[in-house]
């Protein structure tokens, strides 16, 4: 019971998130789309942040209870259990940014890059600008993710198949409620896509290629609305050091040892998301091929 009281911020986020999402659906028949659509986009993004908190063990002690809290698939496209499996694999810090071993890496094996057709290279280069990532990123990420998961299911990977079957159950109440509202399913799908794009503002430069694993994870010293939307994952180096710490503790942990964290990650820091947008809206942060990766035959 003490834990539940301590975790009231996460429970409050869940209540406000689901309540705002439901309110947007209910008002859709009586107000213009420019009112309800942004609310849906933000709440879908926020729900993804809530799922991230759940897979790291909050607010409840049991994995089943946390999965239940984040169960409805507001974002449509990615099964929660696949997100959990892949993200926990991402937390093996020595593999961060590896084109093969880090499932969240946007880098490619240089040998693979050299063998790509020029139009695909250009597409991926645009995807390494912030504007490109917000617009194209979800489509590129989902295409790769779905292709890998389909191949796993064809190989009779029961874990992946089970995750997708459970996802169908998580989709059912969402689609049912959307169908009863004034929001067309195609419009809701666009909002879900935009929500995933907004989430990529957070993931855009969370990690950089670096010889030292400890210098690969960023901190963005933002305490504004975007920090709340992303549940303080802008303090990302703190999250990787203390993956079991709840989101509301991350700013405090950072304040207590700010110099230590900045020394740890080699000063990989930005003042705010505004700085990130100004720097990289239409400029690539880095090249797509991993600068330090050497393939086995390379």
Which residues, 6+ apart, have CB-to-CB distance to 37 below 8 Å?
Answer: 187, 191
pLDDT at 1: 59
* Contact residues for 238 (Cβ-Cβ < 8 A; gap 6+): 219, 245, 250, 253, 254, 261
Q: Which two tokens mark 41? A: 């986009």
Could you tell me how far CA 31 lies from the centroid of its own chain? 30
- Is 171 a domain residue? yes
Containing structural domain, residue 150: 2-280
pLDDT given at position 298 = 47
- Residue 274 is assigned to a structural domain of this protein: yes
pTM over 0.85: yes
Instruction: Please report the pLDDT score of residue 29 as a whole number.
Output: 85
Residue 298 located in a structural domain: no
Q: Is residue 297 part of a domain?
A: no
Residue 117: strand, helix, or coil = coil
Q: What is the pLDDT of residue 62?
A: 94
Residue 80 belongs to some domain of the structure: yes
Cis peptide before 59 (omega within 30 of 0): yes
Q: Does residue 287 form part of some domain? A: no
Which pLDDT does position 293 carry in this prediction?
85
In a domain, 293, yes or no: no
Low-confidence ranges of the chain (pLDDT < 70): 1-4, 295-298
Task: State the total domains in the chain.
Answer: 1
Q: Is 76 within the bounds of a domain?
A: yes
pLDDT for 4: 66
């Amino acid at each position: 019971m003490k834990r539940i009281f301590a975790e009231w911020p996460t429970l409050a986020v869940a209540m406000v998130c689901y309540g705002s999402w439901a309110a947007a659906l209910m008002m859709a028949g009586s107000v213009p789309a420019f009112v309800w659509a942004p609310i849906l986009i933000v709440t879908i993004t926020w729900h993804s942040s809530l799922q991230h908190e759940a897979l790291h063990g909050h607010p409840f002690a049991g994995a089943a209870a946390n999965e239940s809290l984040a169960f409805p698939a507001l974002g449509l496209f990615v099964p929660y259990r696949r997100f959990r499996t892949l993200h926990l694999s991402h937390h093996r810090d020595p593999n961060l940014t590896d084109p093969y071993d880090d499932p969240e890496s946007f880098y490619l094996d240089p040998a693979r890059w050299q063998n790509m057709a020029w139009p695909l290279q250009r597409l991926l280069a645009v995807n390494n600008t912030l504007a490109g990532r917000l617009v194209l990123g979800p489509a590129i990420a989902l295409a790769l993710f779905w292709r890998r998961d389909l191949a796993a299911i064809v190989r009779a990977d029961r874990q992946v198949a089970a995750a997708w079957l459970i996802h169908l159950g998580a989709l059912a109440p969402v689609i049912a409620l959307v169908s009863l509202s004034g929001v067309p399913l195609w419009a809701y799908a666009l909002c879900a896509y935009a929500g995933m794009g907004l989430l990529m503002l957070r993931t855009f430069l969370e990690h950089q290629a670096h010889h030292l694993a400890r210098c690969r994870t960023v901190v963005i010293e933002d305490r504004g609305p975007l920090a709340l939307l992303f549940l303080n994952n802008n303090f990302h180096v703190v999250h990787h050091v203390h993956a079991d710490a709840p989101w509301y503790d991350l700013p405090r942990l950072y304040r207590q040892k700010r110099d230590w964290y900045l020394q740890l990650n080699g000063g990989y820091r930005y003042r705010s998301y505004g700085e990130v947008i100004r720097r990289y809206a239409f400029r690539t942060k880095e090249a797509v091929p991993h600068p330090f990766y050497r393939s086995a035959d390379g």
